[in-house]
Chains A and B, each alone.
Chain A
Amino acid sequence: MERLEVLKTYKIYIGGQFPRTESGRYYTPVNKAGKALGNICLSSRKDVRNAVSAARKAFGGWSERAAFNRGQIIYRIAEMLEGRRLQFIEELQLQGSTKKAAEEEVNLTIDRIVYYAGWCDKYQAIVSSVNPVASSHFNFSVAEPMGVVGVVAPENTSLIGLVSLVLPAICGGNTVVVLAAEHLPLCAVTFAEVVNSSDVPGGVINILTGSNKEMNPTLSTHMDVNAIVYGGNDALALKELQENAVLNVKRVFAYTNDWSKADAQGLHFISDTQEIKTTWHPIENIGGAASSY
C-alpha cells in the first residue's frame, strides 16, 4: 500500500507563534490547473492588529541589537532556507512555476538573503555623515530604523518578491508585518517556518495570508505602523494606502521592480526605511590650539 502523505496546515506567523487566524476563516486559492493549494488562513483585521503589536514589541530589541549580530541572524535565514530548497521548489511548481524557474527563484532568494546579511553592519558607514558645521559643535547624522514597517508583498511572486521587500527592512533594524501574495501564499508561510528556525526573535517578521483588500485598510490606518512598502501593481490599492497613510504621516514606498532580476537589490532599499537623526554637541574651545606638533 502506498504511504499516505501528511498534508501541511498553512498557518500565519505572529510574534514568533503559528496560530491559525483568530477569525477561523480560510480561503482556498487554486493553481492554473485548478488544483487547490490548501486551506489558507483568511486573516482578519484583528490578526493585522495583533501582528502590529507583536512587531512593535519586538522593535526595541531588534533595532538595538549589534549590527553584526543582525547580520549573523539574517545569514542564518539563508542557511535554513538552503536546507529547505526542495520544499520551496515544490511549492513554487505547485503554484505554477516551471521546475527551472522555481529553482532559479529559490537560488536567487538565498543569494539575496546573504546579500542583505552582509549589509547589516555596512550601510551605516555609507549613509551616515559627520557634518562640518560652522559653529563650535560636533555634529553627526546617523540612520535609524523607522519602526514597524508594513510590507505588502508583490502579487506575482510567492517568494522572491516578499523576501526582496522584507530583508532590507529588517536588515536596517525595522520589524515588519507582511501581507503575503494573496493567490500565491504557500512560500510565504514556509518562509515563516524558515525564519522561525533561524534565531530571528519572535515579532521581528510577522506574516499574514488572506485578502489584501481586507487587510490593507487596517494596516495603513494603524497608528503604530511607521511606514508601508508596497510591492503590488494596483494603482487604486496604492492610492488607498497613501491616503490612509496620512493619518499618522506614514512613509509609503512603492516599488515596481522585477525581483527576479539579479540587480533588484541594493543599499537604497535599506535606506528608504531609515530615518536620519542628527546630533549636535558643543566642542570645548578653550586650550589646545597651540598644542599641535
Chain B
Amino acid sequence: MATKKNTPVVEWDYSPSLEGTSHIQLKKQYDLFIDGKWVKPSSGKYFQTINPANEEVLSEVAYGNEKDVDLAVKAARKAYKEVWSVMPASERAKYIYRIARIMQERARELAVIETLDAGKTIRESRDIDVPLACNHFFYYAGWADKLEYAFPNRKVESIGVAGQIIPWNFPLLMAAWKIAPALAAGNTVVLKPAETTPLTALKLAEIIEASGLPAGVVNIVTGFGDTGAAIVNHADVDKIAFTGSTNVGKIIQKAVAGTSKKLTLELGGKSANIIFDDAPIDQAVEGIINGIFFNQGHVCCAGSRLFVQENVADKVIAKLKDRLNSLYLGNPLDKNTDIGAINSKEQLETINKYIKIGKQEGAEMYQPTCSIPKKGFYCPPTLFTNVAQSNVIAQEEIFGPVLTIQTFRTVDEVIQKANNTPFGLAAGVWTDKGSRIFNLTTKLRAGVIWANTYNKFDPTSPFGGYKESGFGREGGLHGLSSYVKLV
C-alpha cells in the first residue's frame, strides 16, 4: 500500500486502493517465441524475473543464446521472403490493426503485468504506457499502404530483418515503438526485451500469436546483453534498432561499423527544464515534478537538470519541496502511489552511488521524510541545490528520481548552460512569452522540446535525439524512415 510521508504541514491520507491481480495470467515459465512457436532455449537455461516492489519472483524466462538468435533470424528471413514482403500492404495493415485491437482488449492485464514486472505505478501503466503502446500499433498500421506518400519522389522498399533491442523503462511501449513501424514498412523482426522486464513483451507475443500474424514475422528472444550482442552481430540482420544507454549504444555503433546494417539509436539524456520568472509557477512546479519523477526518473528524456531564473528560484524551490512532501511512495499497484519502485537492485545502487557523489561534491541534498517499504527497491524523490555545471550529477545520466537545480539570469546564459552537454534528447521551457518560447525552441539542441509541458508522448509525434542521445526518430512520419530503404 502507499506509504504516507510525515508532512510537516498537514496530515491527510488516502485509503489504499489496490489494483487487483487475480485477472492476470502468468505462466511459471516462458520459452522463446520463434517462428510462431514457443521454443525452449538451446542452452536449457532460464532466469527469474522479479517484482522490484517486493522482490517476489513472478516467473522464469528463457535465456536465449547465439543459436536461438540464429533460429529467430532464420525464421524472420523466411517470413520476410515468403510472406511478409510479398503480401499486399493493405493486408499487412490489417494484421497490425488486429494486434492493436487485441492489445486494447487486454489492456488491463498488460497494465498490471507491466507494473508488477517494472515497478512503475499502475496509474502510469494504465493511463500512459499501455494505451500509447496500443495506439502506436494502430497508428503505424495505417501507414503500411501509404508509404509512397511519405517519401516524395522516391521509391520505398522494406529493408529485411530488423534486430531490435529495448530497455526496461517502458517495456511494452518500447516494444510497440520498435515493432509497429518495422512491420508497417514490410520488415520482419527479432526483438530482445530487457532482462529485468521481459513479461509484457512475452504477453505481446501471445497477442501476436492470437492475431494470426504469419509465423516468423515477429520473434521474441529473451536474454541478457550477450543475447542482444548476438542479434547485433548476426550477419543476416539488415537493420538494428536500439534504445538504451549511450555506452551500449556506442558499442553497437562500433559493431555495426563497416557493415551494410542500417542503424538507429535512442540513447541517454540529461535534459534541461528551464523555468523563467514569468512562467505560471504552480504549473511549472507540476511540470518539474512530472519531468523528473515520472516513472521514478527512469526516463531517457527526464528533465533532470532544472534551470530556474534567479529571481524566482527561492519560490520555485520552496514549492518544489512542499510538493515533494505530498508525493506518495510505495506499492506501485496502489492507485494513490505517485512514485513506485526502482526497476532493479542494480539500478538502485547506481542511483545511490550518484546521490553519494552529489553530496561529496558539495551539493545540498533534499529528500522528503518518508517511510520506505522494507522489501523491494525504492528511492525517495531527491533534489540537489547548490549544483555547479561541472558536478558529476549535473553531467551524467542518473536514470533515477534525482533532480539537480541550477539558476540563471539571462536567456543567453541558460541556452549555453542547457546546451553544454554531450546529450541532446529533450528540453523543457516554461514561460508566458510566446516569442521567447520560439527563440528557445530554435536554440536548444535537442530532439524534443516541451514548452509549458513535459514528458508528453504520442504515436504521431517523432521522438529522438541530437548529438550523443542517438540518431533516428521513432513515431510519426519521420519514424518510418528508420525502417525503409529508399531507392
A: which residues have CB within 8 A of B? Answer: 64, 126, 129, 131-135, 137, 139, 141, 144, 146-147, 226, 235, 238-239, 242-243, 245-249, 251, 266-268, 275-282
Check B258–A249 contact: CB distance below 8 A: no
**A residues within 8 A CB of B142?**
none
Within the complex, what minimum Cβ distance (angstroms) separates A272 from chain B? 10
- Main SS at interface, chain A: mixed
Given A137-B453, A141-B476, decide whether A280 and B461 contact each other with a Cβ distance below 8 A. yes
Determine whether B254 belongs to the interface, using a CB cutoff of 8 Å to chain A: yes
**B residues within 8 A CB of A247?**
250
Given A141-B476, A248-B468, decide whether A267 and B152 contact each other with a Cβ distance below 8 A. yes
Determine whether B422 belongs to the interface, using a CB cutoff of 8 Å to chain A: yes
Check B447–A280 contact: CB distance below 8 A: no
**B residues within 8 A CB of A235?**
258
Interface residues of B in 244-258 (CB under 8 A from A): 246, 249-250, 253-254, 256-258
**A residues within 8 A CB of B471?**
249, 251
Check B449–A277 contact: CB distance below 8 A: yes
16 cross-chain CB contacts under 8 A = A131-B476, A132-B460, A133-B461, A144-B442, A146-B466, A226-B467, A246-B250, A246-B257, A276-B473, A277-B446, A277-B466, A278-B449, A278-B462, A279-B450, A280-B456, A281-B452
Given A248-B467, A280-B456, decide whether A134 and B422 contact each other with a Cβ distance below 8 A. no
Determine whether B437 belongs to the interface, using a CB cutoff of 8 Å to chain A: yes
Given A131-B458, A137-B453, A139-B461, decide whether A277 and B448 contact each other with a Cβ distance below 8 A. yes
What is the bound-complex CA distance between A133 and B462, given in angstroms?
A: 11
**B residues within 8 A CB of A277?**
441, 446-449, 466
Check B461–A131 contact: CB distance below 8 A: yes
**A residues within 8 A CB of B254?**
243, 246
Check B476–A129 contact: CB distance below 8 A: yes
Within the complex, what minimum Cβ distance (angstroms) separates B435 from chain A? 13
Given A141-B462, A226-B467, A249-B467, decide whether A279 and B258 contact each other with a Cβ distance below 8 A. no
Which of A64, A126, A245, A279 neighbours the largest number of chain B CB atoms within 10 Å of its CB? A279
Check A268–B447 contact: CB distance below 8 A: no
Determine whether B477 belongs to the interface, using a CB cutoff of 8 Å to chain A: yes
**A residues within 8 A CB of B458?**
131, 133-135, 139
**B residues within 8 A CB of A131?**
458, 460-462, 476-477
Q: Report the 5 A-B pairs with minimum CB-CB distance, sorted nearest first.
A: A239-B258, A242-B257, A133-B458, A131-B460, A243-B257
**B residues within 8 A CB of A135?**
456, 458
Check A280–B135 contact: CB distance below 8 A: no
Over the window 453-487 of chain B, the binary record of Cβ atoms lying under 8 Å from chain A Cβ atoms (1 yes, 0 no) is: 10010101111101111110100111000000010
Given A139-B461, A141-B461, A281-B451, decide whether A276 and B257 contact each other with a Cβ distance below 8 A. no
What is the bound-complex CA distance between A243 and B256, given in angstroms?
A: 9
Identify A249's interface contact among B246, B449, B451, CB under 8 A. Answer: B246
What is the bound-complex CA distance between A246 and B468, given in angstroms?
A: 9
Within the complex, what minimum Cβ distance (angstroms) separates B199 from chain A? 27
| B447 to chain A: closest residue by CB | A277
What is the bound-complex CA distance between A135 and B467, given in angstroms?
A: 29
**B residues within 8 A CB of A134?**
135, 458, 460
Check A245–B253 contact: CB distance below 8 A: yes
What is the bound-complex CA distance between A263 and B216, given in angstroms?
A: 39
Check B463–A278 contact: CB distance below 8 A: yes
Given A235-B258, A249-B250, A266-B153, decide whether A139 and B467 contact each other with a Cβ distance below 8 A. no
**B residues within 8 A CB of A248?**
422, 467-468
**A residues within 8 A CB of B456?**
133, 135, 137, 280
Determine whether B37 belongs to the interface, using a CB cutoff of 8 Å to chain A: no
Determine whether B146 belongs to the interface, using a CB cutoff of 8 Å to chain A: no
Determine whether B403 belongs to the interface, using a CB cutoff of 8 Å to chain A: no
Determine whether B265 belongs to the interface, using a CB cutoff of 8 Å to chain A: yes
Determine whether B72 belongs to the interface, using a CB cutoff of 8 Å to chain A: no
Which of B135, B267, B448 neighbours the largest number of chain A CB atoms within 10 Å of its CB? B448
Check B453–A279 contact: CB distance below 8 A: no
Determine whether B154 belongs to the interface, using a CB cutoff of 8 Å to chain A: yes
8 further contact pairs, Cβ within 8 A, besides A129-B462, A279-B448, A282-B452: A64-B442, A126-B152, A131-B458, A239-B258, A248-B467, A249-B467, A277-B448, A280-B451
What is the bound-complex CA distance between A247 and B477, given in angstroms?
A: 29
Given A141-B478, A276-B447, A279-B451, decide whether A242 and B258 contact each other with a Cβ distance below 8 A. yes
**B residues within 8 A CB of A141?**
461-462, 476, 478
Identify A280's interface contact among B250, B449, B467, CB under 8 A. Answer: B449
**A residues within 8 A CB of B452?**
281-282
**B residues within 8 A CB of A249?**
246, 249-250, 253, 265, 267, 467-471
Within the complex, what minimum Cβ distance (angstroms) separates A255 from chain B? 13
What is the bound-complex CA distance between A276 and B465, given in angstroms?
A: 8
| A243 to chain B: closest residue by CB | B257
Check B461–A246 contact: CB distance below 8 A: no
Within the complex, what minimum Cβ distance (angstroms) separates B177 from chain A? 14
**A residues within 8 A CB of B462?**
129, 131, 141, 276, 278
Which of A239, A242, A247, A278 neighbours the largest number of chain B CB atoms within 10 Å of its CB? A278
Check A239–B152 contact: CB distance below 8 A: no
Check A280–B450 contact: CB distance below 8 A: yes
Given A141-B462, A249-B467, decide whether A243 and B258 contact each other with a Cβ distance below 8 A. yes
**A residues within 8 A CB of B461?**
131, 133, 139, 141, 278, 280
Check A276–B464 contact: CB distance below 8 A: yes
What is the bound-complex CA distance between A131 and B456, given in angstroms?
A: 13
What is the bound-complex CA distance between A137 and B455, given in angstroms?
A: 12
Check B451–A139 contact: CB distance below 8 A: no
| A126 to chain B: closest residue by CB | B152
Within the complex, what minimum Cβ distance (angstroms) separates A137 from chain B? 6
**A residues within 8 A CB of B447?**
275-278
**A residues within 8 A CB of B153?**
266-267
What is the bound-complex CA distance between A275 and B441, given in angstroms?
A: 13
Interface residues of B in 428-450 (CB under 8 A from A): 437, 441-442, 445-450
